[in-house]
Structure 1
Amino acid sequence: MSGEQLLQLENVSKFFPIGGFFSRARMTAVDDVSFALAADRPEIFTIVGESGSGKSTLAKMILGSEAADRGTIRFDGADIGDISSRSAREAFMTRVQPVFQNPFEAFNPLTRIDEYLYATAHRFKGARSRPEREALADGALQRVGLSIAEVRGRYSHELSGGQLQRIAVARALIPEPKLIVADEPVSMVDASLRMSIVNLFRELRDTLKVSIIYITHDLATAYYIADRVIIMRKGVVVESGDARAVLDNPQHDYSFALKNAVLPPDPKRASAILYARQRDRMSSGV
């Protein structure tokens, strides 16, 4: 790994209180997690875990919407726990952008999609004129296979989940971030469109040199998309490393059980599961 780090987590933990107001009991959501992303090597770093594993809480801490109770999270060498002013927060959000699980909740249903993108261009790029905002929005949309003409004047309920998730990615691209945190970005998208979204993240890594933290419960998707992977269970990283090495030959019992439950005996066929799942769900009408 290179000397300079884009993102560095050191012994990060997060606790949540349980029980009544006066109870001292607490649940450990994330327990002593450490990893780093190199500044000069864009990659897709995948966090895999079942529901309750702590992966989404970890994503929130990386985005700064949850504070770590222990440890430090540094972006470009600066501790994000020290971000307090509005200007510092805006500067951080220009470099780190989220893509959330549910595209239908990501947009205000009363705001036109194009106006939403124009507002993003104004907020993060200082675009004042309508032509400048439109050019930035259209450029980002083109990156995800859409155009401003396709969304102009339309509201979120007039678009499909797949279109909305692509627009959510386009919105995240407008500030020209160095890191995108994508939390289960295909779980609410029609099965027939999931591979196109997954492939989109790979294209962004390769063409825009954006690093992506991709969070999923699906080991087959992780096998297909990840450069490196960590597997989480009950807040703890049980295994980490090169995605192929970890998923082809898991060392931890939990990782091994996940692989046997999801991946076929021949790991070369793992990505085919994605297509098979899409076909089965479409034929069953799910």
Structure 2
Amino acid sequence: MIRNKVLISGTHMSKVFGYGLNKTTAVNDVSFKFHEGEIISIVGESGSGKTTLAKVIMGLLKETNGEIEYKGKPRKLKSHRDRKEYWKDIQAIFQDPFSSFNIFHKVDKLLMDCIKLQGLKLSKDEQFLKMKEACSFVNLKFEELYNKYPFELSGGQMQRLMIARIFMMHPKVLIADEPTSMVDACSRSTILDMLMKLRNENNMTIIFITHDVGLAYYVSDTIYIMEKGKIVESGNAEKVILNPQHKYTQQLISDVPKIHEAWNLG
């Protein structure tokens, strides 16, 4: 891919939980550079630190050491206003869509919150059209969903609703943490197609957090491999997967037969 300018970067970043004998280093001296319009996968097994890293990038957790820059400047998250501005540009889709929504709010309220976060001044008709358009993008009918609560929807509908929110927000960065792990194969393909369409239309940077090496290989420009809180290998997706240098990367690939065959053939 043609590299655009660096959008978000981290330098020698760590995240430590607890103190003294109970201290756990979840992210250990990690550095990264994510470019505009780039698709990145952060790959590792459960406990590797990838989700903690995603939450730090998102601003849901504060880094213990190191620095994160956004658009070439140290990011500011001290005040509510700072965080609100940051979250206009950086949004997330999580593994469990039901944990991402307030179960006491109906669908129309969940989508209206996107309009409010953007500070848009729209008439009721304009609000309705914007929410309808977002639902249509993900093949949902707003008229059938607007008055329902999250628990009345299926997992697939909830994942699509999360993507509808992204469609409305037009963020610069999307963090997708195992976004297809709770849906069937058909829905998985559809969701990935929707995310790729959003990337192409908005030049959005997508950061996939996944244990799925196959997914990372097929959708990513760049891959970062995480083990025990550290990035042990990174680079062009094809190079990392077809010519892995680190033992941990080789082990991950050996568990995926088709990729393993391609590696041997390469």
Measured in 2, the distance between the counterparts of 1:134 and 1:250 equals 50
Q: Does 1:73 align with 2:68?
A: yes
Match of 1:13 in 2: 14
Corresponding position: 1:33 with 2:33: no
1:9, 1:73 within 8 Å by CA — same for their partners in 2? Answer: yes
SS of the residue 1:14 aligns to = strand
Query: Among residues 226, 230, 237, which one is paired with 1:236 in the alignment?
Result: 230
For 2:255, what is the secondary structure of its paired residue?
A: helix
Cα drift, residue 102 of structure 1: 0.4
What's the % identity of the aligned pairs? 39
Q: Distance in 2 between matches of 1:3 and 1:110?
A: 41
Aligned residues: 261
| Match status 1:44 vs 2:39 | yes
- Map 1:55-94 onto structure 2 (within 5 A): 55-80=50-75, 82-94=76-88
Structure-2 separation of matches of 1:115 and 1:57: 29
The residue identity in structure 1 corresponding to 2:27 is V
Secondary structure of 1:61's match? helix
1:86 CA displacement = 1.8
Runs (5+) with no aligned partner, structure 1: 269-286
What is the aligned partner in structure 2 of residue 273 from structure 1? Answer: none
Report the CA distance shift for 1:243/1:150 in structure 2 as closer, same or farther (over 3 A).
farther
- What CA deviation, in whole Å up to 9, does each residue of 1:144-181 have, x standing for no partner? 23342242212222221111101111112322211011
TM-score between the two structures when normalised by the length of structure 2: 0.91
3-state SS of 1:53 partner: coil
* Aligned partner of residue 258 in structure 1, secondary structure: helix
Q: Which stretch of structure 1 is more off in the superposition, 163-172 or 187-196?
A: 187-196
Unaligned ranges ≥5, structure 2:
none
Greater CA drift, 119-128 or 166-175: 119-128
Q: Using the alignment, how far apart are the partners of 1:24 and 1:199 within structure 2?
A: 46
Residue 94 of structure 1 contacts residue 124 of structure 1 at CA under 8 Å; is this kept in 2?
A: yes
Match runs of 1:1-286 below 5 Å = 4-17=5-18, 23-39=20-36, 42-80=37-75, 82-264=76-258, 265-267=260-262
C-alpha change, 1:161 and 1:168, in structure 2 (3 Å) is same
Aligned to 2:8, what secondary structure does the other structure show?
Answer: strand
The alpha-carbon deviation at position 187 of structure 1 amounts to 1.5
The Cα of 1:24 is off from its aligned counterpart by: 4.7
Amino acid in structure 2 at the alignment position of 1:29: A
The TM-score, its normalising length taken from structure 1, stands at 0.85
Counterpart-to-counterpart distance in 2, 1:112 and 1:254:
44
* TM-superposed deviation, 1:59: 0.4
Distance (Å, rounded) in 1 between the aligned partners of 2:23 and 2:104: 39
Q: 118-127 vs 84-93, which deviates more?
A: 118-127
Aligned partners of 1:94, 1:69: CA distance in 2, in Å?
24
CA distance, structure 2, for counterparts of residue 14 and residue 172 of structure 1: 27
Computed over aligned residues only, the root mean square deviation of the Cα atoms, in angstroms, reads: 1.9
**Separation of aligned partners in 2, 1:190 and 1:183:** 16
In structure 1, distance between residues paired with 2:238 and 2:136: 32
Work out the CA distance in 1 between the residues paired with 2:262 and 2:107: 41
SS in structure 1 of the partner of residue 97 of structure 2: coil
